[in-house]
């Protein structure tokens, strides 16, 4: 009986994925996408500049450090705050190495209380599929990588609501918006996280979504 149930789920999954060639974006997803794009991440939260974490603007004019750190976690913290959703942020944690700390925080009871849930593989859909689908429905979704060397930075990005083909999704991961070594208003996961992955092990990236409705 268990075998037949698993076989049925496998066949159903294959049928659904074949029937749906791409993931579409709902009205709420379109609204969330417009909000993310309005943040102008390609010109703010720039690597090497001391910034205000909430606005992404430089704190000092014409001050740049060649080896200055990037601001992926500050961008995510700011976006979530504006949406009325809490994720670990200053002053609860300093900006340096914040992405690693955000990963750890997202697995705690505090995060669950604030609406966060980890996305895991199911017999029907992959983490990539579910993360993109939730974002397209208008849910706040983050992709986060914790550096195994806690003295070095991890990485975190928002999953961008985006009409994406299933084949493209499986090959390149969800569409993201991020600050980082390079800032992207829209890029595949494998591009945004390329500086943090070894041996193409995308399984090191975890996805979390928030059950709460983003604030208008």
Q: Does domain 21-210 have CATH number 3.90.1720.10?
A: yes
Q: Which secondary structure element, helix H or strand E, spans residue 99, and what is its range?
A: helix 98-106
Confidence of residue 138 (pLDDT cuts 50, 70, 90): very high
Quote the pLDDT of residue 25. 97
Domain boundaries, the chain: 21-210
Confidence of residue 122 (pLDDT cuts 50, 70, 90): low
Instruction: List Cα–Cα distances, 103 to 31, 35, 90, 141, in angstroms.
Output: 26, 24, 15, 13
Instruction: Of 211, 160, 214, 216, give the one whose Cα is nearest residue 186.
Output: 160
Quote the pLDDT of residue 196. 80
Q: Is the pTM of this model over 0.85?
A: yes
Quote the pLDDT of residue 51. 93
Burial of 197 (C-beta count, 10 Å sphere; 0-12/13-18/19+): middle
The angle formed by the CA atoms of residues 75, 140 and 87, to the nearest 5 degrees, is: 55
């Amino acid at each position: 009986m268990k075998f037949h149930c698993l076989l049925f789920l496998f066949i159903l999954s294959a049928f659904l994925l074949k029937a749906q060639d791409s993931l579409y974006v709902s009205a709420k997803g379109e609204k969330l996408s417009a909000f993310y794009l309005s943040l102008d991440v390609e010109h703010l939260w720039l690597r090497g500049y001391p910034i205000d974490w909430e606005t992404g603007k430089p704190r000092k004019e014409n001050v740049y450090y060649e080896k200055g750190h990037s601001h992926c976690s500050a961008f995510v913290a700011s976006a979530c705050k504006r949406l009325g959703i809490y994720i670990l942020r200053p002053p609860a944690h300093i900006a340096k190495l914040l992405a690693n700390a955000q990963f750890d925080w997202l697995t705690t009871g505090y995060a669950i209380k604030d609406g966060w849930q980890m996305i895991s593989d199911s017999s029907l859909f992959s983490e990539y599929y579910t993360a993109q689908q939730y974002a397209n429905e208008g849910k706040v979704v983050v992709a986060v990588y914790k550096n195994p060397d806690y003295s070095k930075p991890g990485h975190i990005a928002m999953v961008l609501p985006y009409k994406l083909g299933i084949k493209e999704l499986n090959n390149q991961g969800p569409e993201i918006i991020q600050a980082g070594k390079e800032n992207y208003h829209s890029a595949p996961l494998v591009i945004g996280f390329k500086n943090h992955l070894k041996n193409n092990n995308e399984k090191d990236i975890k996805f979390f979504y928030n059950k709460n409705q983003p604030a208008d």
